[in-house]
Chains A and B, each alone.
Chain A
Amino acid sequence: MSIRAEHLSYIYNEGTVMETYAVRDISFEIADGSFVGLIGHTGSGKSTLIQHLNGLMKPSRGTVYYNDEDIFAEGYDLKRLRGHVGLVFQYPEYQLFEEDVLTDVMFGPKNMGLSEEEARKRAVEALHQVGIEDEVFVRSPFELSGGQKRRVAVAGVIAMEPAVLILDEPTAGLDPEGRREILGMVSRLHRERQMTVILVSHSMDDVAEYADRIMVLNHGELAYFDTPREVFRHHKELETFGLSAPEITYLAAELADAGFDIDRDISTVEEAKAEILRIMGS
């Protein structure tokens, strides 16, 4: 069980002078149960790439396999795929439309052909999972706070019980509390439900903390796909892509340059704490 892209390219205005590659010849395989952080500067092709993974965009070349089946093959049921590969867009609260929270979350499950009763059960479960209390269920989604709206919108995708959850900058525009809630929830879904997660983010610190693999896009090409350690080791290259490494990685480098015997390739506060305690302890 996995998502696999093979030589995926998406070309705008193909065959004209304005021809541009949004993504170019990308191949990778995302193993089941992994947590992938997808990073790249604005316009590097992240959004285009993730829209191919659930068939919302059709590649100009190459294809995507889900569980070894070509999702762009004739007759492949894309609608069913979208239940398995859930995609949460940027600012997902802008797609809320129903009169109350619960009905809105039921939209996805009902589209998958589930009964009213089953859809309701899943919606309730999803809402609990994102930390929305029962008394909010009957309220209009438009009355909620920004953070609540965002969580309800994510619940709308989770209620389809996808095996793979893709989130495009789910914390954009939220305050620290809202960001913490969303990331905590995603990490819980990953741990407790073994959901495969692909998290698009601009925050290197977040990606370093949660992802076990990091995918880096630069001008539509796959620059790195490796563990955070390996990827952030290339922080000089990342800077040429308009990206950066986490603060902690830079701190480790500066400490090492100042003569401290510290591991240069750490990226989280926790790792740094352990390292500094080790070197200062001796």
Chain B
Amino acid sequence: MSKLIQAAHLFYDYLIRDENDNVMATEPALSDFSLEIEQGSFVCLLGHNGSGKSTFAKLINAMNLPKEGTVLVAGMDTRNEDSLLDIRMKAGMVFQNPDNQIISNVVEEDVAFGPENIGIPTDEILRRVDEALHKVGMNAYRLKSPNQLSGGQKQRVAIAGIVAMRPECIILDEPTAMLDPTGRRDVLEAVHELNKKEGITIILITHYMEEAVDADRIVVMEHGKIAKDSSGRLMDDTPREIFSRVEDLKRLQLTVPVITELGHELKQAGIPLPDGILTRDEFVQELKKLRK
């Protein structure tokens, strides 16, 4: 598989300014951060607030530029101004607040916004909007006003708006943080579907460990660095092994799914369960084995 995103030795500082806009202090958000992401993979980027997740996301599609280091998206350097639109087309971004990223007053118009910006011909836009709305299951709401939609529906419209630009990769920055459980489920389903059926690379930034259960790869960030990565460069081999380190995750201010937590607690109390049980089904199977 080819590398879609190659980030090498990134440094990025947040500037803290005083009232007169002079830089008072800097706070490192990324320090010597390197990460490569395979085309077509589903990567979950975890970490508590301020660990540098969102900063990295904004460097991928050139919303910000690194102080040091390089980011290549499909081989294009984000520093190169000429490829700016191409990069943003290839790596689309969905944000946390559903209300603050929908621009138009009609769902289909909003989905068309991106393609319109990059000068796609009219017939083609119509086709893409149609396709994108179907892919996220929002076609029935095509002519509705965004104000009539639930949070989860708005997020799916936002995703459709990116899909209509035919991206290689979608970066979702905590897309479910403001949603209710139904909305969360629908959004995640849509995202997984896009990954499986369309082969779109997904970078999902989240606080919820439950959302990482089905990812191909989990990267945990801390202090602008990688604390854990399931791709094998560090010690952890699979997402499951990351989940098995319950104490580590707690130290990184993450919560494990309750089933994993229960398995961990029982193991500590002397029940010989394996580490990193993720689902109820696995749990029942493991407990059955012990009964025999």
Contact = CB atoms under 8 A, between A and B. Distances in A.
Q: Does B associate with A?
A: yes
Contacts of B233: none
A145 B49 contact: yes
Interface string A237-252: 0000010101110110
Nearest to B151: A42
A147 interface: yes
Interface in B244-284: 253-255, 257-259, 261-262, 265-266, 269, 271, 280-281, 283-284
B258 A247 contact: yes
A255 B271 contact: no
Among A246, A258, A280, the one with the most B-chain Cβ atoms within 10 Å of its Cβ is A280
A177 B271 contact: no
Contact of B258 (A173, A174, A248): A248
Nearest to B208: A176
Q: Looking at chain B, what size class is its interface with the partner chain?
A: 20 to 34
A247 B259 contact: yes
B284 A251 contact: yes
B254 to A, nearest CB: 6
Contacts of A84: none
Interface stretch (B137-145, B176-184, B191-199): B176-184
B269 A147 contact: no
Nearest to A243: B181
A30 interface: no
Contact of A251 (B50, B180, B259): B259
A272 B271 CA distance: 13
B287 interface: yes
A147 B207 CA distance: 14
B258 A175 contact: no
Q: Looking at chain A, what size class is its interface with the partner chain?
A: 20 to 34
Contacts, number: 79
B290 interface: yes
B288 interface: yes
Contact of A177 (B182, B253, B269): B253
B26 interface: no
A24 interface: no
Given A42-B180, A202-B180, A251 B262 contact: yes
23 contacts: A42-B151, A42-B180, A145-B49, A172-B177, A173-B177, A175-B207, A176-B48, A176-B207, A176-B255, A177-B49, A205-B258, A247-B258, A250-B280, A251-B259, A251-B262, A251-B283, A254-B281, A255-B284, A269-B258, A269-B265, A272-B262, A276-B287, A280-B287
Interface of B: 48-50, 96, 150-151, 177-178, 180-183, 207, 253-255, 257-259, 261-262, 265-266, 269, 271, 280-281, 283-284, 287-288, 290-291
Given A176-B254, A260-B287, 12 more contacts: A42-B150, A172-B177, A175-B253, A202-B180, A246-B258, A247-B259, A248-B258, A254-B284, A258-B287, A269-B258, A273-B265, A280-B290
